[in-house]
Structure 1
Amino acid sequence: MTRPVFADPKTAFVFKRLFGSEEHKDLILALLNGLLELDEPHRIVSVELLAPEQRPSVTELKYSIVDVKCRDARGVTYVVEMQVLNVEGFEKRVVYNVAKAYVGQLGRGQLYPELNDVIGITICDFELWPSGEGLAVPMLSRWRMQEQHGGTKGLGQIQLVFLELPKYDASRPPGTVVERWAYFFREAENLTMVPEVLAEPPYVDALEAARTAGFTEEEWDAYLRAGMALQDERGALSLARKEGQGEGLRQGIEAVCQVLGIELTAARRREIAALDAPGLSALLARIQTRKAWED
């Protein structure tokens, strides 16, 4: 198999290679400062990488979730996560993950004032808040508690940041730091050379770390396995959704038949069982207009 010039940074193997290793610690610093939009006096200058033991156990999502945890000199913990697949309850799992990182700081005998802030940064390869549904959530959104009457912001011990990659405006070159990171995550695997918009640190450093020519055979095999596992997971979720949709349609057909007084004979049940979701939808429409199974 011919290697692409750059590996996909959204895969677990490459994401951790770039942002979860001591060798490339400058990249996680640059990513944090960029997505948190920190100015020079408030920039994070050093972090300590932490073990990802606080990730909740979700066996059916082993390959679409990958996170990197780190802590800065002030004690603030950052949970940086790449999420490739949109799944039910995703927002709740993100909140759970960040909240667990917050409460996990407090050991036996420690006091509440010793708790430090936790900021969750999630990069989504899907629209979490679709723009076509009357919502006005930008590509990079930041969330914290707010008093509902006066709008005063407070209780910032837990903060959430989301970067929704599909909201990137590909009709023009990236201009801001956030846009360049979004462009990097979206397009790196399709590039054959370093584009001008990514030709300076930290983006060029991230591309060089993702250059497949620098992968050993073992690393290349690990990258391929990670990609195949993700495709398998994507296929499994798609199949589960289709099967769930099909089961719902079968139940709908039975309910409509009961209301209309249509007998579900053994032959008719066999016909229903043999249909896929589009066929079931068509059959349900015919039954509702009394055009199916006419004697």
Structure 2
Amino acid sequence: MRPLFADPKTDFVFKRIFGIEEHKPLLIALLNGLLELDEAHRVVEVELLSPEQRPPVQELKFSIVDVKCVDARGTRYVVEMQVLNVEGFEKRVVYNVAKAYTGQLQGGQVYPDLDDVIGVTVCDFELWPRREAPQVPMLSRWRMQEQHGGARGLGQLQFVFLELPKYDASRPPRTAVEKWAYFFREASNLQVVPEVLAEQPYTGALEAARAAGFTEEEWDAYIRAGMAIQDERGALSLARKEGRAEGLQAGLRASIRKVLGKRGLALSAQQEAHLEGCADTGTLERWLDQSLTAASATEALR
């Protein structure tokens, strides 16, 4: 039996809500809410880049990346939903934003023509755990700062993070930021539209996530997306457990073999040697991630 609303944190539903032409007003509302922009600087137009314009970054293929959003200053935004906290995540976010910035230098453009880029990432985990960094709030904004006097500058690259586990569930949401956090956290558990979300743009987002509106093919895709997340959680957990006992890299190799085996993707002798010979933990974690959806063992170990 389908729930009333599908989980907006899954790749499939996140893209269904914020990544298609007919729902561009929802993406605009999300950005304006999370960026807390005043009227003079609100995002007024969104252009979704076609797939061939997105950077070929394997680790980012399940996220909405390089969403070009134009505000009064011409600033661009990169929007992403991240469910799992994997090694090197922060570096990946920085790389993606930097890629969007440098990627503008095409067709004879010069440096003064470069627009600022802001990365907006919704995390279903604590990137800065409260016990280690209690000063980092649920919604945090990051930019470069001069280390002696504290002056802020070089704002061409900026980063915004919404850490969903930091949401205060002890009271109803009040601000736009809190309402979006509530939506992402609780949508799949709702039996009715709650009063706090009974207004646009939240009703529009809930309607886009309404499970009854999914075709059978879309529902199957949604289920597969959820299973992929659970498989990845299990694979990462297994890798960490085996890593503690036998070494992290050995655990990762075992998890890659297990995932590929369950998906019917056999490793050739050459691929097995390639896997066994890899001594880079980051590469092994990337291969494990790719093993969940790759069409072949060759693609998984690319």
TM score, norm. by length of structure 1: 0.79
Matched residue, 1:72 = 70
Matched residue, 1:233 = 232
- 1:89 to 2:106 alignment: no
Matched residue, 2:58 = 57
Cα deviation, 1:225-271, whole Å, max 9, x if unaligned, reads 1111111111111111111111149x9xxxxxxxxxxxxxxxxxxxx
Farther-moved stretch of structure 1 (74-83 vs 94-103): 74-83
What CA distance in whole angstroms lies between the structure 2 residues aligned with 1:107 and 1:137?
Answer: 37
CA-CA distance at 1:108 after TM superposition: 5.3
Matched residue, 1:262 = none
CA-CA distance at 1:66 after TM superposition: 4.7
What CA distance in whole angstroms lies between the structure 1 residues aligned with 2:124 and 2:57?
Answer: 20
Matched residue, 1:44 = 43
Whether contact under 8 Å (1:83, 1:122) holds in the other structure is yes
Matched residue, 1:275 = none
Q: How does 1:193-208 map to 2 (within 5 A)?
A: 193-208=192-207
* Unaligned 5+ runs, structure 1: 252-295
Matched residue, 2:171 = 172
Instruction: Give the number of equivalent residue pairs.
Output: 246
CA-CA distance at 1:150 after TM superposition: 1.5
Q: How does 1:105-120 map to 2 (within 5 A)?
A: 105-107=104-106, 109-120=108-119
What CA distance in whole angstroms lies between the structure 1 residues aligned with 2:222 and 2:150?
Answer: 46
Cα deviation, 1:266-292, whole Å, max 9, x if unaligned, reads xxxxxxxxxxxxxxxxxxxxxxxxxxx
Matched residue, 2:299 = none
Distance 1:220 1:68, change over 3 A: farther
Quick one: which amino acid aligns to residue 71 of structure 1?
C
CA-CA distance at 1:62 after TM superposition: 5.8
Give secondary structure in 1 for the equivalent of 2:57. coil
Distance 1:68 1:12, change over 3 A: farther
The runs of at least 4 aligned residues of structure 1 exceeding 3 Å deviation read 65-68
Quick one: which amino acid aligns to residue 109 of structure 2?
Q
- Structure of higher CA gyration radius: 1
Give secondary structure in 2 for the equivalent of 1:123. strand
TM score, norm. by length of structure 2: 0.78
Quick one: which amino acid aligns to residue 72 of structure 1?
V
What CA distance in whole angstroms lies between the structure 1 residues aligned with 2:162 and 2:56?
Answer: 19
CA RMSD of aligned residues (A): 1.8
Whether contact under 8 Å (1:120, 1:160) holds in the other structure is yes
Identity of aligned residues (%): 75
Cα deviation, 1:185-244, whole Å, max 9, x if unaligned, reads 000000011000000000111001100111111111111111111111111111111111
What CA distance in whole angstroms lies between the structure 2 residues aligned with 1:108 and 1:29?
Answer: 28
